[in-house]
Structure 1
């Protein structure tokens, strides 16, 4: 059973979404405050969270950041904000997709299905580089650096896997956008999102962007995964 947490202070909207989710065979739980959302995340196991940015107690951005400290659950933000900087900020703090209000319930269902498909197990078990310094477990969707587990958002994970599966291949930002959940939305021109995700990913891999070990910038073209031997 797919468990989805709906966080929106408009109870009616939560009920409408819940009805659509039930038709899909999913189990929805709706809450109206940020405090309730964090309580649910801590006590229960959810496959995805729908998160409104405008809540009465905590902002959606705060909830997203606090959630990322304890969970890598996919997060779709609902927002009336339309400025590019606001949307990019949402991705920087850990959201995986965002939907602008007003929206249709069918659109939300499609976005959720896209994200959930990305969670399906891979036939290949693992990718490892530099004698196990970087280990990507494709079945469990976990990443270890130098023997320590690191926490990646789903977007960061999918970008890393996309490039690591084809070492040396140069990917344009548009190609990388297509690898992310909600790709039909990302193709609206927010290519700067990729730069943001790459920046965050490099930090988590402990890479020096001037001398990266794995993720390399190909100026004027995009990015590629190439392994530099560690000293």
Structure 2
């Protein structure tokens, strides 16, 4: 089951750990670090699940859950250091689908996520589409369009666009992108990532010589802009 999962966690190390676990499971994670960003992201892109820390800045996790329940039925898995019975009951009372306390086992977290997704799985007549900067990526059908026009991609190119459209405007190093292409391009190297980027620009840029979507961040790597070209 490939799911679009929003992770709202202010601890960056914890957030990165969860993001990597979800990627290994084949999911598409998006990470935010405060409650306001979580509400905005969930409202605009409607994830299949929200992994929600309670101790968030700007708007705490209970406030986020309250807003999500007012506006829809997005599944919520609360993940928090608060472990009293009252905290658990309050979270579940606001409509959380499950509740885990820190510290937690990564294996148990993944098992809980699988359980919530199975229990709340939506009809499969639509795909969890990812959109950024005029690009649309369909992880289920393995299709990419640019401004509505189909874009043929190799497996390695698709893996890169899949990762980057899931987190628009995030800067990816070559090594990070290489991790996403593992299993698709077994012989891929960091230099091969540059070739993938060059080929993708030929397919999605109005002028590949002056990129407007797939940008180079010098001495760091690449990012896909979230704004329309």
Q: TM-score, length-normalised on structure 2?
A: 0.51
RMSD of equivalent CA atoms: 1.7
Name the counterpart of 1:52. 53
Structure 1 residue ranges without an equivalent (≥5):
123-138, 140-231
Deviation at 1:69, TM superposition (A): 0.9
The alignment of Structure 1 onto Structure 2 pairs a total of residues equal to 123
Distance 1:71 1:121 in 2: 13
Q: Is the 8 A contact 2:75 2:120 kept in 1?
A: no
Distance 2:48 2:102 in 1: 23
Q: Deviations over 1:111-131 (max 9, x none)?
A: 010111113479xxxxxxxxx
Q: Deviations over 1:177-201 (max 9, x none)?
A: xxxxxxxxxxxxxxxxxxxxxxxxx
Secondary structure, aligned partner of 1:78: strand
Deviation at 1:57, TM superposition (A): 1.3
Structural mapping, 1:188-207, within 5 Å = none
Name the counterpart of 1:3. 4
Structural mapping, 1:191-230, within 5 Å = none
Q: TM-score, length-normalised on structure 1?
A: 0.51
Distance 1:120 1:46 in 2: 12
Name the counterpart of 2:86. 85
Structural mapping, 1:1-231, within 5 Å = 1-120=2-121
Structure 2 residue ranges without an equivalent (≥5):
126-229
Q: Deviations over 1:59-98 (max 9, x none)?
A: 1111100111112011011121121111101111111110
Name the counterpart of 1:127. none
Distance 2:49 2:64 in 1: 14
